[in-house]
Amino acid sequence: MKKTDMIENDLEEMKDDMLPEYHLDYSQARPNRFATDVAAGSLVVVLEPELAQVFKTSDKVKVILQAIANALPQQEAEATSN
């Protein structure tokens, strides 16, 4: 038997295992333990690896961004926040 035939057979078996609809018991659900760190109205940003090596903590990122925001002219800062 060819490898592709084996893969096709496996896919067919998986399709047979899937039900057309699932009823999940949400009473057993728990809150996302990672979401508690994010305050309402916050923006989560993923840094590129090169930047993550420089800014190793969120506090360091906050300090730099606050310095940049303070250096912007007031009108420009208001325009970019909208």
CA distance 24 to 10: 26
Q: Return the domain boundaries, the chain.
A: 3-81
Q: Please report which helix (H) or strand (E) contains residue 43, including its range.
A: none
Which pLDDT belongs to residue 38?
76
- Asked whether residue 79 carries a pLDDT value surpassing 90, the answer given is no
Q: What is the pLDDT of residues 1-50, one digit of tens each?
A: 566 666 676 776 666 677 778 888 889 888 888 777 777 888 888 999 99
Which pLDDT belongs to residue 75?
66
Tell me the CA distances in angstroms from 77 to 3, 7, 22, 64, 82, one per residue in order. 60, 56, 49, 15, 9
Tell me the chain's radius of gyration from C-alpha atoms: 24
- Which tokens in the block code for residue 11? 């896919």
CA distance 53 to 66: 19
Higher pLDDT, 61 or 6: 61
Model pTM above 0.75: no
